[in-house]
Amino acid sequence: MAQNVLLKIEHVTKIYGRKDRQFTAVKDINLAIHEGEFVALLGPSGCGKSTLLRMITGLIEPTSGTVYYRDKPIKGVNPYATIVFQTFALYPWLTVLENVALALEARGVARSERYRIAERLLDTVGLDGFEKAYPRELSGGMRQKVGFARALAVEPELLCLDEPFSALDVLSAEALRGELMELWIGEQLPIKAILMVSHNIEEAISMADRIVVMGKEPGHIVAEFAVDLPHPRDRKNPRFEQLLDYIYAAIAGRTLPEISEVGTAPGTPGPTRILPNASVNALAGLLEHLRTSGRQDIYKLDDELGLDMGDLIQVIEMAEMLGFATINEGDIELTPLGEAYAEASILTRKELFAQRARRLPMLQWMIQMLKVAPNNELPWKVFLTALLPEFPDEMAERQLDIAINWGRYAELIDYDDDNELIRLDLSNGRFEVESEVQKAR
């Protein structure tokens, strides 16, 4: 590519934690972003996308390797790059205009100038007339626009977007994507390049010039795709569909040996595989659909199941993790076990699900702890505390919620809401033979 290189990442590795609690979030990443480029970073949750953005903007330092901006290694915060996050923390007691002006104040822009520039920026993102409104009076989409305006106030050369649309409803997200693209294509923004993190394949194909696909454990680059389609892009274009297939295959197509598929238990060496955030109902919906449709193109499933791509990926991961489906070159297909599940009665389904779910290290670990606990019960907090070193705070809580939901459905564990206690579900004989503690009584 002929354009100037803005950003260059060389052999970057990030390891979180210390000593025996080390976790490699990304490993040996090499990447360059050129002037005029819109690059999308795509990959499953936990593959280190946000980590990479935080290193690019200088919020955190790589453990090894170097991030260069215009050929100079970044030291501390990168003044040429800004991040727009999924949800923007706006100051509730300040008006929209004041929220944007504040970012300019931080840059040392004179008071008289601040409000003039802030007004222009709000105009640019389509918030003309809302200057005096307070954040609470705005819709999610409008609040996110204020976030964009505030990021632009810093006049970054490189605008980093971390899943900027994923907290919005479908329509607002689509509208905001369109507006951003108009500004970018129309060269109405002062920025020189965009790097957008996404877990939505269609979103990435419809916006970016180049898509970098990451895999996890540890985070690494799997593949790159150039999107050679004119704007505005048509999702029905065969090339668009082909890219969807290729990229999906790159993300989910690799079949790993079982130990890395299911991960290890919390507190043991090796990565604890993140449980996808999907419900048993969604799983049943997917498997029933596949039973009638047979082998299917994954990207067609979001419409057919009424799920967005993000949710769909989660359900598919769940099906794959439990051994109910396999993925190959962008297609998904039931395994014989998945077929059995889809055809079974409610009770048999529960049984099949329980057999598979209890093999997952996370649930195995919980069950093991409960087996040896007094009365086979433990406070929810005990599990949360054990998970905190493995995941960032809110993720630990979400992981525990998912494990509880799956475990409850499988009748492996029970959750006592009033006392915040998790206990072994002994009502159905699933643990009759095994529960040493029970036998001893």
Binding site for Mg ion (CB under 5 A): 50
87 part of the interface to ligand ADP, by CB under 6 A: no
Report residue 182: phi and psi, to 5°. Answer: -60, -45
Q: Between the CA of residue 4 and those of 209, 212, 233, 284, what are the distances in Å?
A: 16, 19, 26, 50
Within residues 394-423, the interface with ligand ADP by CB under 6 A covers: 395
Q: In angstroms, rounded to a whole number, what is the distance separating the alpha carbons of residues 245 and 239?
A: 10
Nearer to Mg ion, 86 or 326 (CB): 86
16 part of the interface to ligand ADP, by CB under 6 A: yes
Nearer to ligand ADP, 56 or 410 (CB): 56
Neighbours of 261 (CB within 10 A): 12
- Any idea how long the chain is? 441
49 part of the interface to ligand ADP, by CB under 6 A: yes
DSSP secondary structure code for residue 59 in this structure: S
- In DSSP notation, 374-392 reads GGGEEEHHHHHHHHTTTS-
Identify what 17 binds: ligand ADP, Mg ion, none; CB under 5 to 8 Å per kind.
Answer: ligand ADP
- Tell me the per-residue interface mask from 363 to 392 with ligand ADP, x by CB under 6 A, - otherwise: ----------------------------xx
63 part of the interface to ligand ADP, by CB under 6 A: no
Nearer to Mg ion, 50 or 144 (CB): 50
Nearer to ligand ADP, 17 or 306 (CB): 17
Residue environment code for 222-250, b if the CB has 16+ CB neighbours within 10 A, otherwise e:
beebebeeeeebeeeeeebbebbbbbbbb
Nearer to ligand ADP, 310 or 379 (CB): 310
Which among 41, 52, 51, 43 is positioned nearest to 10, based on CA atoms?
52
205 part of the interface to ligand ADP, by CB under 6 A: no
166 part of the interface to ligand ADP, by CB under 6 A: no
Identify what 270 binds: ligand ADP, Mg ion, none; CB under 5 to 8 Å per kind.
Answer: none
DSSP E strand boundaries for 256-412: 296-297, 325-328, 331-334, 377-379
220 part of the interface to ligand ADP, by CB under 6 A: no
45 part of the interface to ligand ADP, by CB under 6 A: yes
Nearer to ligand ADP, 53 or 378 (CB): 53
8's enclosing H/E stretch is strand 5-16
Q: In angstroms, rounded to a whole number, what is the distance separating the alpha carbons of residues 135 and 130?
A: 10
> How many residues form the binding site for ligand ADP (CB under 6 A)?
15
25 part of the interface to ligand ADP, by CB under 6 A: yes
| Contact positions vs ligand ADP (CB under 6 A) | 16-17, 23, 25, 43, 45-51, 391-392, 395
